[in-house]
A = this chain, B = another copy of it.
Amino acid sequence: MAVTEEVTVDVTETLAKFVVQHRGADLPGRVRHEAARSLLNWVGCAVGGSRHETVERALAALGEFSGPRVATVLGRADRLDIMLAALMNGITSHTFDFDDTHLRTVIHPSGPVASAILALAERQPVSGEDFLHAFVLGVEVECRIGNAVYPSHYDVGWHITGTTGVFGAAAAVGRLLHLNQEQMTWAMGIAATQASGLREMFGTMCKPFHPGNAGRNGLLAALLASKDFTSSTRSIEAPRGFANVLATGRRYEEITERLGDTWEILLNTYKPFACGIVIHPIIDGCIQLRTEHGIGPDDIRSVSLEVHPLVLELTGKKTPRKGLEGKFSVYHSAAVALIHGAAGEAQYGDDVVSDPVVVGLRDRVDAVVSESLHEDQARVTIHLRDGRTLERFVEHAVGSIDMPMSDADLEAKFRGLTDGILSAPETDALLQHCWTVGTLPDASVLAKMAVPGAKTAAG
């Protein structure tokens, strides 16, 4: 960690210059579309997580300290100042661990960036075009910094979504605040010196706190820089800068090369199922067979799974008793996929893991490890009571980079997340505005429409 190298390129300044100078008109269409998909998925996750105990407790602790209540907590009636709103929306959007993933670094890129700029957009007018552009730039910044220090940074124990997210949020907000290049390097410096978040926190409420805190602190960094609060101009590459202090290895060319030619958001992925990604191929295969053959739990004698070794290592729990434990059970996941045809947050409720029908089928599921499978592969074999055998080999699980969720898949996921919080017409209108975010006169409509009872004609 203390090994430092001489750096000849001004890494931070190069990145800051790019963020300040890049023209929205130069964003390729597929980048825009992927940004809309990311935002849509993020809004759905934030609304879906908005009633969770995690955010209830955070609001109970911090709500009283809010400044001007101009910003929305998605999915709720609460309004907060922009820094607290960024914190809360970052928390809710990651509560189910169902948000987007930049697989190369395991960063969840949207949370910190979208939370921060959506809150800012409720303080001052931001067009949908500028919003989309800033979002893409923020994601680019955090993922490029992540690329430069992954995997050593993650291996050391840092929750990379928190540590790089604060840069992404600072850059995106800084762009919307029209920072000049020097101010943008300061914003990144103020972000760097707040970079934090430990993997030790996984399994506690502090995990979703990380993207929220990154959004809050990135916003703070850009606001301070906008008033010329000074910082290092070499916060990433200096001998005692971010990359040397928080990682044991680093590749600065991942940050500085091909800026504007490649876009990290094109590597973003979305989880179709509300559980660890290693179980996804199994769930995918089960749902495919259920849909194609119209089978129900009573038709099934037993289920045999062939899985990648990590599956049983991470999700080998035979008899989950709580909903959260169900996420660590490939057996439960296969059962709900076959019975419900889904594995959303609802399928991991406490009631579902103790449902006799689910338990009955779960106990008829076996799994064996196959060393020849890739992580996004699995084989599902169903033995029916009528003697038939159904089999499906999943080459690439849905949601993987090779088999991305379709726009329709994302819409279905979104509806599952907002169900019970927003009405169907409200969900329809919000979806429509997410898809067309780049053309909105005022991007804050995304926040205002994500509240139950809001007028859907607001935009």
Contacts and interface: CB of A to CB of B under 8 A. Distances in A.
Interface in A181-240: 189-190, 192-201, 204-206, 209-210, 213, 220, 223-224, 226-232, 234-235, 238-240
A354 interface: no
A443 to B, nearest CB: 20
Interface stretch (A60-68, A96-104, A127-135, A290-298): A60-68
A172 B126 CA distance: 41
B206 A193 contact: yes
Interface string A4-21: 000000000000000000
Say which size band chain A's interface belongs to: 35 or more
A248 B248 CA distance: 12
- How many copies of the shown chain assemble into the complex? 2
Given A197-B193, A198-B192, A234-B200, A65 B68 contact: yes
Nearest to A205: B230
Contacts of A234: 200
Interface in A347-378: none
A232 B198 CA distance: 10
A418 to B, nearest CB: 25
A39 to B, nearest CB: 24
A81 B68 CA distance: 12
B232 A205 contact: no
Interface stretch (A150-158, A274-282, A334-342, A403-411): A150-158
A323 interface: no
A223 B68 contact: no
Contacts of A206: 189-190, 193, 229-232
A245 B67 contact: no
Contacts of A210: 193
Contacts of A427: none
Interface in A8-65: 54, 57-58, 60-62, 64-65
Contacts of A238: 200
B201 A245 contact: no
A458 interface: no
Contact of A224 (B61, B82, B199, B227): B61
A292 B157 CA distance: 58
Nearest to A81: B65
A22 to B, nearest CB: 24
Contacts of A205: 229-231
Contacts of A105: none
A156 B67 contact: no
Nearest to A198: B193
A64 B68 contact: yes
Given A65-B82, A67-B67, 8 more contacts: A2-B248, A157-B240, A162-B193, A190-B206, A192-B198, A193-B196, A200-B235, A201-B232
